[in-house]
Amino acid sequence: MKILKYIILISCLTLVASSCSKWIDVKPADRLGEEQLFVNRAGFMKAINGVYVEMASTDLYGQHMSTGIIDVLAQYYYINGSTHVFDKYTNFVYTEASVKSGFEQIWKKAYELIANCNVILDKCGNTPTEILPQPYFGIIKGEALALRAMIHLDMLRLFGPIYSEDSKYKPALPYIDKISYDIAPLLGSEEFTGHVVADLEAARLLLQDSDPIRTEGVRNQGSPTGENDLYYRQYRLNYYAVKALLARTYLWMGNRTAALKYAEELLTEVQSADKMTFPFVTFASAVSVDKPDRMFSTEVMFSLYNINRKEMYNRLFDVSLQSNNKLSFSNGDVNDTRVRAIYDDNNDFRRRIWQSASNGTTTATTNMKYADVIDGPGRYMIPLIRLSEVLLIAAECSPELAKATAYFNSLRTARNCVSLAPVDQTALKTEITKEFRREMLGEGQQFFYYKRNAMQALPNSSTLNISPEKTMVLTNYTVPLPDSETSQRY
């Protein structure tokens, strides 16, 4: 992978105390020389903010790696017919030109932002300075390290093999951790994830003493002075989100002991009786008619802030879209068979994202999760790490069935569902798989869950009732490296 020698800067205005919606005012991107940018603290903040803004682009978590391509791979939606724009994705036809183009966009944007993180890290140096004193040094460097690790991990989870003893040494992807114009070697998954863990551990140490989220909480009300660089911590890759990423990474590696350690530590830190940093969504917020919290925003540990999020909804889910352009659980009508097949409890808060929507001429069962709700909770939020994933990691990794079931049912209870009593670990894992699918819809995690577990029977995207199950060929879990990458090597 060739490293870009410029850094994308997107100007970000300071948060005003009264409104998170004015945090990011996206202006035309400037490609400025490094020496012009890193002359003061404000320049460093603009640089790191620019990475966050670009992460919310369509090529990454603003569509392809959240609600779009990656969730289509997970077989969430009813896609029956070769004319559907996502047909080749749902059938894993990776040689199709349009499919190759989509993955190319993901790859290029991801490594572009990794390159930008490397520039920021290089300019941060190893110690605080007069230009970048504490706590800004620890926060900016810690976030840049964590962002670099997270993006790399997602590229491995998408383009790399299923992690196993047989595959972990085979060359897979480049890990770019410095500014260089040389073609980086392809690393095996074990060495690659070693770099991910090292970056996350370094980030954790930097953030543990500098991130105000540990003492002040998420601070989503904004600063009374208007100085918001250290506020709105749910929209930054904060200390707690880094620990969640460590749990996610270790579980990907099959190290359940380490994954459980970080998950349990994190749950103790953020959900103790005297410190609820990420409280479960309330009943009133979840069922609100006027301003429903469809994001369960209080539980989100890390998200992107995208004032154009409604455009993603309009492109993918709006009831006015033609059936072959829309991601839906029905065939452009009010059939809710697929909805009922996923949710086992009619009182489940998550079921409320599926509604019968109408534009006056068409009425159809519609995914409303990202529909715009003016002044609603989490209006511009794209969740990337949430509390429920940590609970499900703890449930999956705990060797004690009773304890694991307690973690699992704490999530069920928070979703207004009846508790379950699996008879053994196998039964519990089956329920965790179902729960993960309900929980992560629209957030780009389900395909990676299937891949991590090498699952060979997936929900069927071509039938309304998701069964009979679709047979998954294991090699389809590995997306081929883009031509722009392979052309440099062979």
pLDDT of residue 319: 96
pLDDT of residue 81: 87
Query: Phi and psi (nearest 5°) for 414?
Result: -65, -20
**Does residue 10 register a pLDDT over 60?**
no
pLDDT of residue 33: 62
pLDDT of residue 489: 81
**What pLDDT, in 10s, does the model give residues 387-399?**
999 999 999 999 9
Q: Say if residues 22 and 12 touch (Cβ distance below 8 Å).
A: no
Mean pLDDT of 69-73: 98
Using pLDDT thresholds of 50, 70 and 90, give the confidence band for residue 343.
very high
- How far is Cα 25 from Cα 43, in angstroms, rounded to an integer? 16
pLDDT of residue 24: 32
Query: Phi and psi (nearest 5°) for 357?
Result: -100, 155
- How far is Cα 162 from Cα 122, in angstroms, rounded to an integer? 32
Mean pLDDT of 315-332: 95
Using pLDDT thresholds of 50, 70 and 90, give the confidence band for residue 27.
very low
pLDDT of residue 234: 97
Q: Which of 339, 342, 345 is nearest to 420 (CA)?
A: 345
pLDDT of residue 272: 86
Show Cβ contacts of residue 338 under 8 Å, excluding neighbours closer than 6 positions: 78, 329, 330, 464, 465, 466
Using pLDDT thresholds of 50, 70 and 90, give the confidence band for residue 179.
very high
Q: Which of 355, 352, 348 is nearest to 411 (CA)?
A: 348
pLDDT of residue 4: 41
pLDDT of residue 467: 87
pLDDT of residue 15: 29
pLDDT of residue 32: 45
Using pLDDT thresholds of 50, 70 and 90, give the confidence band for residue 65.
very high
Question: Half-sphere exposure of 21 toward its Cβ, with a 13 Å CA cutoff?
Answer: 13
**What pLDDT, in 10s, does the model give residues 216-247?**
999 998 889 888 999 999 999 999 999 999 99
The residues facing 447 across adjacent strands are: none
**What pLDDT, in 10s, does the model give residues 445-469?**
999 999 999 999 999 999 998 888 9
Using pLDDT thresholds of 50, 70 and 90, give the confidence band for residue 7.
very low
Using pLDDT thresholds of 50, 70 and 90, give the confidence band for residue 112.
very high
pLDDT of residue 181: 84
Helical residues (DSSP H) of 38-96, grouped into ranges: 41-55, 69-73, 87-90
Mean pLDDT of 35-61: 94
pLDDT of residue 5: 40
**Does residue 381 register a pLDDT over 50?**
yes
Using pLDDT thresholds of 50, 70 and 90, give the confidence band for residue 1.
low
Peptide bond into 28 cis (omega under 30): no
- How far is Cα 152 from Cα 110, in angstroms, rounded to an integer? 8
DSSP conformation letters of 303-320 = EEE-TTHHHHHHHHT-TT
Average pLDDT, the chain: 92
Using pLDDT thresholds of 50, 70 and 90, give the confidence band for residue 23.
very low
pLDDT of residue 30: 40
**Does residue 329 register a pLDDT over 80?**
yes
Show Cβ contacts of residue 280 under 8 Å, excluding neighbours closer than 6 positions: 296, 298, 299, 387, 414
**Does residue 17 register a pLDDT over 90?**
no
The structure tokens listed for 385 are: 């790490």
